[in-house]
Structure 1
Amino acid sequence: MNEPQYAGFWLRFGATIIDSVIFGLILMVPLALIYGESYWIDETMVHGVWDVLLSYVVPFIATLWFWRRFLGTPGKMLLRLRVVDARTGEPLPLGQCVLRYIGYFVSALPLCLGFLWVAFDSRKQGWHDKIGGSVVIVEPREPVRFEGRG
């Protein structure tokens, strides 16, 4: 059987796009229903309690839950990626998940350089991975076998 490999930048970027669409659709509908059109055109940073819950708290809890339960968010699961401990290959403990999530903000601050780092790092780790002690791997596929061939 093939060994897992580190997931590269473009594969991880694709997973992020999928996650953004899924989470965006799920969370935009309630926000639109609660706050109406003003939510999208108003320059107010925070519109209320529901805005904080649906824009910050729910994504935080959901992301940690997906990492703990499925070793990845929906986009990563669709692309056969797994977020695991960088030393052991085991699922991340909750504390590491929290650190990795906080690391997203660190990765994003300097022009998303922490995310782009994945493209250049030997273990394909972004800054959030380094902060959280994680790596993202691609689960190997089962080799194709044909009956008439040896």
Structure 2
Amino acid sequence: MSRGVTGADPTRAVSMQGHYAGAATRLAAFALDQTIATSLFALGSAIVAWAIALVTSDAFKWDPDALFTGSLLLLWLFVYYSYPWSVSGKTPGMALLGIRVVRADGSPASGRNAVLRTLALPLSFLTLGIGFLPIIFGKERRALHDKIAGTAVVYSWDARSARWRFLARQQEADPVAV
């Protein structure tokens, strides 16, 4: 089998399933998730405010304090991250980028792992980012919150399988071009 310019085995590059996810992929997934989560929170808040105004009257002006809104946002973010991690191992942003949370041994993450990971995630930020350094420099690419929760983030897509599905669909569409 021929090797590419970098000397890497091309069959290995086609399927990264089960390999530890890199820092760029994880950061992009987190940015997507934060965008999705805050957008959904803003939309939900607007709908609640509209419903209250509709039921009471146009004169009603709801002005919750920052502590209440911040608490609701934190509760929403907790649910946004912990529930998908416990059910499927991936948030919407992670699903779009093909990564998932698993236990350190590779088995599916449990609800306990998901809740611990969600609660420990702020620690990686509160250490001024030092908690994220193992993602870049560590062999297993496990951040502080991953180590606390006993989890790892791995690629969950398999490009080789996707290519076979694509070729099968192409043949179904044009059986002569075999």
Category of TM-score, reference length = shorter chain: 0.7 to 0.9
Q: 1:141 aligns with which of 148, 153, 159?
A: 159
Q: 8 Å contact 2:83–2:114 — kept in the other structure?
A: no
Q: 2:43 aligns with which of 12, 24, 29?
A: 29
| Structure showing the higher helix proportion among its residues | 2
TM-score, scaled relative to structure 2: 0.67
Identity within the alignment, %: 28
Distance 1:45 1:110 in 2: 25
Distance 2:152 2:136 in 1: 13
1:4 positional shift: 2.0
Q: 1:101 aligns with which of 103, 112, 118?
A: 118
Distance 2:76 2:66 in 1: 17
Distance 2:139 2:70 in 1: 39
- The residue number in structure 1 matching 2:71 is 52
Distance 1:76 1:111 in 2: 24
Alignment size in residue pairs: 139
- The residue number in structure 1 matching 2:88 is 70
Distance 2:131 2:87 in 1: 25
Question: CA deviation digits over 1:83-134, x for unaligned, max 9?
Answer: 00012x1221111112111211211112122123311110011001101101
- The residue number in structure 2 matching 1:131 is 148
Higher relative contact order (CA 8 A, sep 6+): 1
- The residue number in structure 2 matching 1:80 is 98
2:36 aligned partner, one-letter code? I
SS in 2 for 1:101: helix
1:51 positional shift: 4.4
The 1:116–1:45 alpha-carbon spacing in structure 2 relative to 1, beyond 3 Å, is farther
Give 1 or 2 for the bigger CA radius of gyration. 2
Q: 8 Å contact 1:9–1:116 — kept in the other structure?
A: no
1:18 aligned partner, one-letter code? L
- The residue number in structure 2 matching 1:121 is 138
SS in 1 for 2:159: coil
- Give every structure 1 segment of 4 or more consecutive aligned residues whose post-TM-superposition deviation is greater than 6 Å: none
| RMSD (CA atoms) | 2.7
TM-score, scaled relative to structure 1: 0.79
